[in-house]
Amino acid sequence: MTEQALEVSGLVKHFGPVRAVDGVDLSVAAGEVVGLVGESGSGKSTLGRCVTRLLPVTAGSVVIGGRDIAGMSRRQIRPLRRQFNIVFQDPSSSLNPRLTVGDIVAEPLRHHRLGTRSHRRARVVEMLELVGLGGEVTHRYPHELSGGQRQRVSLARALAAGPSLLVADEPTSALDVSVQASVLNLIARLQREMGFACLFITHDLASVEYLAQRVAVMYLGVLVEVADRAELFGSPRHPYTQALLSAAPIPDPPLQRRRQRILLSGEMPSPVAPPPGCRFHTRCPVAVDRCRVEVPVLRPVGPSGALVACHLVGDDGTAPALVGTADQTAAGGTGDSPGRAGGLHR
Amino acid sequence: MTGVPRPRVGTGAGEPVVAVDGPVVAAAGGPLLAVRDLSVRFATEEGAVLAVDRVSFDVAERDLVALVGESGCGKSVTAMALTGLLPGNATVTGEIRFAGKDLRRLSEGGLREIRGREIAYVFQEPMTSLNPVLTVGRQIGEVLRRHRDMHGAAVRRRCVELLDLVGIPLAARRLREYPHQLSGGMRQRVMIAMALACEPKLLVADEPTTALDVTVQAGILDVLRTLRAETGTAVLLITHDLGVVADVAERVVVMYAGRVIESADVDELFAKPAHPYTRGLLDAVPNPARHAEGGLREIPGRVPVLSHSPEACTFADRCPRADDTCRTRRPELAPGPTGHPVRCWHPLPDPAATPPRPRGGAR
């Protein structure tokens, strides 16, 4: 069995009546990149904050480096923080505007009392070079940098103490396309060179497909599907995953016009009172009576053992075909015969 | 006054104007909107900023034109300039012809008549554009009462029609609700319904789906698509998202550092981009087919902020094809190797015309 960098079991996080995360099991192997995708309100960011214990956990366990940090006090966790770190969407609000870049990157080193002063200084320069910034930014302040440069600084800081797990919460969502590409490339390179495990949280399917080896799909506080990248994008099984992939437009006009979209009715229900049975049944075009009463468990299906929480997916991995049901529309109405949209995402 | 000939409006830069003749984006039946040499300067504390630099493009009736670019390229400023929505520190030059009228010559009162009634806007964040203390019905109704002179039951009937048009179920009930009771997607639909209340000839949608989830975005894009069929409204869509462009646009105008650098039909632009920046933008989007080739294409450097229009290509500093010509002479928008307009001294060749087997990852 491979060593796990992160093992989350039965994780629950409630904010008063809001059931933001409601029983999640997820593991990330050492050196693995797992993408966590979901739409706003799915609970994916809350999960990221629970895993890094920026939020107290309501129930369940979060095992990092062999120790369960879910129930630990802040003081107990503090020395363990070397092993994991997090970067956020908006680097301008997560970097202290009064510190220089050098001081920002040195912060975790000072905090964990790593190395001597001169060691730390050398490490800061090394980290800045690693993220593609020259030593000359050491004495600059965050406001003097561009958005892409700031995100590089937050990566340098997050990785300075050599964590085994990095949680990246929408790290490229606030950036322009061309800058986004360079930050995604950077994360891929750093991950390859430094070998940390990464939980990559995003709503952007294309960047997950680029970066992650395995993908977990979250809906209204629970995981609905976890599979290897190629399998998830090539043959999504859960109806929500199918709808999500079909809704994301591909930057290829003729291909995009031929694709069929599964339009979901309604909105994501409130996490205060999630629907009984399958949480997705209120919007699922193929839901049956059983879906309205019985909660589907996340279980392995098919030859690969991909995990799916849907009553309509067989143990052999056969999934309900949503394309061809009444709720989808042919995109564009161009009169193209849509054909089967088997490869929803190329 | 329908012919839209094109008297040149000097930009004050004193440079010879060698712009392309005729509409930049070809359109049958004469353009509804014709923008020629539009420039916008802002006076700021740090000095002058040239946000839009002699931009020309057309939007035909029923057309869906996407104005594409990254932050700071001038796409939103261009859209705002159309009906004089820019703040007082902006100086606008150039020509904006809309349905036979020269918008630049209209008074503020004249522009107000155009705004909302003939050119309507939808912005990224609907919550800031909706009044939180008025019901949805009251807000849409106000537009109808004011601009359309409708009253009583007719207003209500029309409101329900409009909500139906933008795909809001249970329209009659929604009319009694307040904006905070609606989800983000529903609010954006309400904004589009309000924008369509006066049956505008042109809808300007500035990043209308950027704040929305993809499953919600899909529905809004469908609304944009169908409303043209049902109401004949042309759409100018401002976006940075190439997936959205591929999904709904018919024509694309690409902007960089205040200038239009390329424009073409959507299929042509994606298949045969001629400007290195357009190519770079397309290659920067994650694409599984290229994973093995060592990552996403990056465009080094950043978009320049200009105080004046340089006698050079504004992309030269970041461009792999740039040479001395690019750094010393301003390229004009002119037909490129594949026929569509491109502003580049060394445009990319037509992929169909070059011999096969390009080396090393060039597609």
Look at residues B265, B275, B288 and name the one whose alpha carbon lies nearest to residue B334.
B275
**Per-residue confidence band for B124, with pLDDT thresholds at 50, 70 and 90:** confident
- Mean pLDDT estimate for chain A: 90
Of the segments A46-50, B189-193, B354-358, which one has the largest average pLDDT value?
A46-50
Q: What is the mean pLDDT of residues B196-212?
A: 91
pLDDT range class, residue B96, cuts 50, 70, 90: very high
Tens of pLDDT, residues A206-235? 999 999 999 999 999 999 999 999 999 999
Asked whether the beta carbons of B268 and B253 are under 8 A apart, the reply is no
> In chain A, which residues have their Cβ closer than 8 Å to the Cβ of B302?
146, 148, 179
Quote the pLDDT of residue A143: 93
Mean pLDDT of B81-85: 94
pLDDT at B88 over 50: yes
Per-residue pLDDT for B33 more than 90?
yes
| Total residues belonging to chain B | 363
Residue B102 has pLDDT above 80, yes or no: yes
Concatenating the DSSP letter of every residue in B9-29 gives: ---SS-----PPSS-SS--TT
Q: What secondary structure, in 3-state letters, does A78-132 show? A: HHHHHHEEEECCCHHHHCCCCCCHHHHHHHHHHHCCCCCHHHHHHHHHHHHHHCC
Q: How far is B180 from chain A (nearest CA, A)?
A: 14
Q: Helix, strand, or coil here: B236?
A: strand
Mean pLDDT value of segment A105-132: 93
Residue B163: both structure tokens together: 């909500």
Where is average pLDDT lowest: A53-67, A165-179, B14-28?
A: B14-28
Beta-bridge partner residues of A74: none
Output the DSSP codes for B99-166: TTEEGGGS-HHHHHHHBTTTEEEE-S-HHHHS-TTS-HHHHHHHHHHHHH---THHHHHHHHHHHHHT
- Residue B251, pLDDT score: 97
Given a cut of 60, is residue A60 above it in pLDDT? yes
Residue with the larger pLDDT of the pair B355 and B235: B235
Residues of A in contact with B266 (CB under 8 A): 253
pLDDT tens digit sequence for B46-58: 899 999 999 999 9
Query: Is B292's Cβ below 8 Å from some Cβ in A?
Result: no
| Residue A267 touches partner B, C-beta closer than 8 Å | yes
Query: Does the CB of B299 have a partner CB in chain A at under 8 Å?
Result: yes
Q: Taking Cα atoms as reference points, which of B286, B280, B314, B317 lies closest to residue B299?
A: B280
pTM of the model: 0.86
Q: What is the pLDDT of residue A158?
A: 96
What confidence score (pLDDT) does residue B294 get? 64
Which residues of A fall within a CB distance of 8 Å from B229? 333
Structure-token pair, residue B300: 């080094």
Q: Give the mutation candidate from B124, B182, B214 for the A interface (greatest A CB count, under 10 A).
A: B214
**Cα distance from B280 to chain A (closest Cα, Å)?**
8
pLDDT score at B25 = 45
Tokens of A212: 């992650």
Cα-only R_g, chain A: 21
Poorest-confidence range of A29-33, A131-135, B6-10, B94-98?
B6-10
Closest-CA distance of chain A to residue B244, Å: 6
Among the partner residues B185, B285, B299, nearest to A251 by beta-carbon distance: B285
Lowest-confidence segment of A109-113, A175-179, B330-334 by average pLDDT: A175-179
Query: What mean pLDDT is predicted for residues A128-149?
Result: 91
Q: Would strands B259-265 and B251-256 be described as parallel, antiparallel, or unpaired?
A: antiparallel
- Of the pLDDT bands very low, low, confident and very high (cuts 50, 70, 90), residue B355 is low
Neighboring chain B residues of A148 at a CB cutoff of 8 Å: 302
For the CA atoms of A84, A88, A91, A93, the dihedral, rounded to the nearest 10 degrees, stands at -100
Query: What confidence tier does A2 reach under pLDDT thresholds 50, 70, 90?
Result: low
Which of A33, A89, A133, A178 to mutate: most B Cβ within 10 Å? A178
Span B357-362, mean pLDDT? 46
Measured between beta carbons, the chain B residues lying within 8 angstroms of A252 are 246, 270
pLDDT band at A119 (very low <50, low <70, confident <90, very high): very high
What letter does residue A26 receive in the DSSP assignment?
E
pLDDT category at A268 given cuts 50, 70, 90 is confident
Mean pLDDT in residue range A276-291: 96
With 90 as the cut, is the pLDDT of residue B296 above it?
no
* Contacts for A171 with CB less than 8 Å, ≥ 6 apart: A87, A88, A89, A151, A154, A155, A183, A187, A200, A202
Query: What would you measure as the largest C-alpha separation in chain A, in angstroms?
Result: 69
Interface check A192 vs B, CB under 8 A? no
For B303-337, give the DSSP string: PPP-SS--SS-TTGGG-TT--HHHHHS----EE-T
Percent pLDDT > 90 in chain A is: 80
Strand B90-98's sheet: what is its strand order?
Answer: B47-60, B31-44, B90-98, B101-102
Determine the Cα–Cα distance for residues B40 and B240; give it in Å rounded to an integer: 20
Q: What is the pLDDT of residue B5?
A: 41
Sign of CA dihedral B281, B284, B290, B293: positive
Query: In this predicted structure, what is the pLDDT of residue B3?
Result: 40
Residue B298 has pLDDT above 90, yes or no: no
Q: How many CB pairs under 8 A join A and B?
A: 115
Joined tokens for residue A204: 């952007």
pLDDT at position B7, please? 38
Which position has the higher pLDDT, B41 or B351? B41
Task: Please name the residues in contact with A147: beta carbons below 8 A apart, sequence gap of 6 or more.
Answer: A91, A92, A174, A175, A176, A179
- How far is it, in rounded angstroms, from Cα B122 to Cα A220? 29
Tell me what the mean pLDDT of segment B159-185 comes to. Answer: 89
Residue position matching structure tokens 């049958």:
B28
Q: In Å, what is the CA distance from A24 to each residue of A14, A44, A50?
A: 13, 10, 11
pLDDT, residue A324, reads 52
pLDDT of residue B14: 38
β strands within chain A, DSSP E: 4-15, 18-29, 33-37, 59-64, 67-68, 84-87, 165-169, 197-202, 214-219, 222-228, 260-262, 299-301, 306-308, 328-330
- What is the structure's pLDDT at B8? 37
Whether A206 and B295 lie within 8 Å, measured CB to CB = no
Taking the Cβ of residue A331 and every Cβ of chain B, the question of whether any pair is shorter than 8 Å is answered with: yes
- Residue A176: its pLDDT value, please? 87
Yes or no, beta carbons of A181 and B242 under 8 Å apart = no
Return the pLDDT at A13. Answer: 97
Separation in Å, CA B293 to CA B198, B290, B299, B361, B363:
51, 5, 16, 7, 11
Tell me the per-residue pLDDT of B240-290, one tens digit each, with 9 for 90 and over: 999 999 999 999 999 999 999 999 999 999 999 999 999 999 999 886 655
Q: What percentage of chain B reaches a pLDDT higher than 70?
A: 87
Q: What is the CA radius of gyration of chain B?
A: 21
CB contact under 8 A, A181 and B229: no
Bigger pLDDT: B294 or A273? A273
CB contact under 8 A, A250 and B213: no
The reply to whether residue A203 touches residue B183, judged by beta carbons under 8 angstroms, is no
CA distance A209 to A79: 34
Name residues 233-252 of chain B within 8 A of A (Cβ): 240-247, 249
What pLDDT is stored for residue A333 in this prediction? 33
pLDDT of B113 reads 87
Which residue in chain A is spatially nearest to B295 when comparing CA positions? A185
pLDDT at res. A31: 96
Q: How far is the CA of A112 from the CAs of A82, A156, A173, in angstroms? A: 7, 16, 30
**Helix, strand, or coil here: B195?**
helix
- The H or E element that residue B33 is part of is strand B31-44
The C-alpha atoms of residue A111 and residue B181 are separated, in whole angstroms, by: 45
Instruction: Look up residue A134 and give its two tokens.
Output: 């020259």
